[in-house]
Amino acid sequence: MPTMTGLLSLLATGVLVVLGVWLLGGILLRVSGVLLVAGGLLSTAATGSPSAALLTLLGAVAWLCGQWHYGARHHCFSSPLARRVFHEALPRQLDPTRGWGVPNVSPEGR
């Protein structure tokens, strides 16, 4: 049976992990995604390996997750490419900035 000190230590560690993910998660995902895409494309071009193409796809997904994290945290996108992907290519429900702005048009359309 864990002691009270052990439970408090576990709780503090969990809070630190969540705080770290909230503060650094978007940056880490975007940077690692770009690196994975670049490495995957270079490796695919050099070897033609399907696993390298999968690495490229994984990097693109990591980059999109990082952009989603940034959008959810800051209510805007960090790049025009991310804004275009989320507004035009993905379903509307996945847009983390949806519903944060104040509409400029009245409900009657005037």
User: In the prediction, which pLDDT does 99 show?
Assistant: 76
Q: Is 40 exposed, middle or buried (0-12, 13-18, 19+ CB in 10 A)?
A: buried
Average pLDDT of the chain is 87
Candidate from 17-21, 36-40, 88-92, 99-103 with smallest mean pLDDT: 99-103
For residue 36, name the pLDDT band (cuts at 50, 70, 90): very high
CA triple 103-107-108, angle to 5 deg: 135
